Structure 1
């Protein structure tokens, strides 16, 4: 058994940063989703040195874990250096808080210029960039940035011919709890229309449950008692991006998991062979893909973008996934043909191999080739 590997995914790197804010000051912020009043906030700011990427990159995606309880919030920005040597402006990559008590969690549209734009959670360069700086500003009191990372990648406009990578042929399956997003249809439609769109909250909840983490019962008291899994509703509420009007903002998902003591990052993986290495280490991988029904046999649906959890592999190398699009928890476990799954996940016209990894700090990851 061999699987397809998009040739354009070899150029990806994940940089991790230790954040130690030194610059202090105050700033006025008007929450566009608030009550219309400005508020002055004290802040602590950290700005990284310039980091060389090592190749001409077309996309940058930051992710973070932080403590930002009521009274605190975090703004993350990126500035890039183009291949011509010029510096871009600072682009806001997200304004994040654990709850909406003080500031509404949001991405920031409308930043596009000649150098690039921000597509929800991704800086998309108008022309390749070769270096960048990262800035994290923590507003208010009681907050703390625990980890910060940036994934830089070169995503080709036209995918190259596929290469082949061998499956391990070692069957393995992690015991990840199964959660259907469809059981939440109609729940709290103010957050991305309700459960029909909650693939990301359902997937994060499955992985949090696997690690024995998540909100305490008292934190779920606002959810109706007959809800099949209140933690999914909680995740949808606290991952919701008010500008994007969705629950699928990738860094916000990692940050949500970080509230419960997990480390995490968004990256691109180059093949299912890399996913196999995580599974062998006991770490499930959350993937993002889009496809028509016929492209992923056994799915039973088409999607312009969907999140699921890879939990294992069969002896033939096919993918065992917890797919939250199932109508009930009992149908969440799916086995998808390896080649088909890898194609719809890796192709540049889709997510290009996007993956979320969240894990306890004491669980070691497999040896990295630079992209985690």
Structure 2
């Protein structure tokens, strides 16, 4: 894990109608609803954060994750990521979550002014009745954008040649929603890389944010992978060195990019002013420059999904966010 990522410790905090078993939260036998609240979590100054989590839910059981931040000695309101449940049975994110200190924009909690230096997490577990199996909450993760900005670490490895054999899927193979499903298409590609083949439509149905109608809620996409037995989180990386460490471990990364003109990322199929997700599958050096191997789901056909993008250009259009999905 990078320095901008913090994993929860569920053994520390207050539980009501819950019990912590082997580091995981479950409902007590005669309870339909329980609440966990963390201790105050002191962190390095940050300007925004993204929550992700691992859970096991079903149609009649859900979890809800809340977060609040401290800035200038004052605490914000609690902000909810909505009730999450597998197979698309989520309430989705709520619009209009804002107070004078912070704003939750779907999956990104923004400090309105200055920076925050602490946060707290609340988790709620729900089930239909006591005969229904309890949901299981395994852990949460917080990905921070630090105040000090990105650290530029020199990368010198001209012999590098990584090519992870990630299946290539085109989001446009699903014409009804093809222009909206870059994220679940990428998740499907990476899950297939590890041996779990899922139809893109099934993944899209599972990750859709029913509050906003979007398929690109970062938190929901990794939660969906986690429900399938993966160990996944949203992380904010800073440089090529950090990306290369994951690739060298055999872990492809789903990266969030945004472009306003075609010249910003040579070889891209189109501009992505509202954002786009791609899978980084490799890295190599050629003719004095580093290149990423990338599966870009915006291609018209699957055979055109594999691309090669200049690292320098890619880093300039990348916002630092990645999904890390591993077995």
* TM superposition score category, shorter chain reference: 0.7 to 0.9
Q: Quick one: distance in 2 between partners of 1:109 and 1:212?
A: 37
Structure 1 residues 202-217: aligned runs within 5 Å: 202-215=185-198
Shift of the alpha carbon at 1:93? 2.4
Matched, 1:154 2:140: no
Q: Quick one: distance in 1 between partners of 2:186 and 2:147?
A: 25
Aligned partner of 1:249 in structure 2 is: 217
Shift of the alpha carbon at 1:95? 2.0
Aligned partner of 2:282 in structure 1 is: 312
Q: How many residues align?
A: 300
Secondary structure in 2 matching 1:314? strand
Of 259, 262, 268, 1:299 maps to 268
Aligned partner of 1:136 in structure 2 is: 123
Kept after mapping to 2: 8 A contact 1:12/1:154: no
Of 47, 60, 63, 2:37 maps to 47
Aligned partner of 2:49 in structure 1 is: 60
Of 298, 312, 321, 1:339 maps to 312
Aligned partner of 1:15 in structure 2 is: 6
Shift of the alpha carbon at 1:314? 1.7
Kept after mapping to 2: 8 A contact 1:94/1:108: yes
CA RMSD across the alignment: 2.1
Kept after mapping to 1: 8 A contact 2:81/2:92: no
Matched, 1:107 2:99: no
Of 58, 61, 66, 1:69 maps to 58
Shift of the alpha carbon at 1:12? 5.8
Kept after mapping to 1: 8 A contact 2:256/2:321: yes
Q: Quick one: distance in 2 between partners of 1:95 and 1:324?
A: 29
Shift of the alpha carbon at 1:238? 0.7
Of 155, 162, 167, 1:172 maps to 162
Of 201, 213, 233, 1:265 maps to 233
Of 107, 112, 118, 1:126 maps to 112
Tell me, which stretches of 5 or more residues in structure 2 are unaligned?
A: 19-30
Q: Quick one: distance in 2 between partners of 1:135 and 1:70?
A: 22
Q: Quick one: distance in 1 between partners of 2:83 and 2:3?
A: 25
Kept after mapping to 2: 8 A contact 1:112/1:118: yes
Q: Quick one: distance in 2 between partners of 1:341 and 1:138?
A: 40
Aligned partner of 2:208 in structure 1 is: 240
Kept after mapping to 2: 8 A contact 1:174/1:282: yes
Tell me, which stretches of 5 or more residues in structure 1 are unaligned?
A: 1-10, 26-40, 187-193, 216-230, 346-351, 361-372
Kept after mapping to 1: 8 A contact 2:152/2:239: no
TM-score normalised to structure 1 length: 0.76
Q: Quick one: distance in 1 between partners of 2:41 and 2:236?
A: 19
Secondary structure in 2 matching 1:165? coil
TM-score normalised to structure 2 length: 0.86
Q: Quick one: distance in 2 between partners of 1:248 and 1:276?
A: 24
Shift of the alpha carbon at 1:155? 6.0
Aligned partner of 2:243 in structure 1 is: 275
Secondary structure in 2 matching 1:243? coil
Shift of the alpha carbon at 1:315? 2.6
Secondary structure in 2 matching 1:303? coil
Q: Quick one: distance in 2 between partners of 1:307 and 1:66?
A: 23
Aligned partner of 1:184 in structure 2 is: 174
Shift of the alpha carbon at 1:173? 0.4
Secondary structure in 2 matching 1:275? helix
Q: Quick one: distance in 1 between partners of 2:241 and 2:47?
A: 24
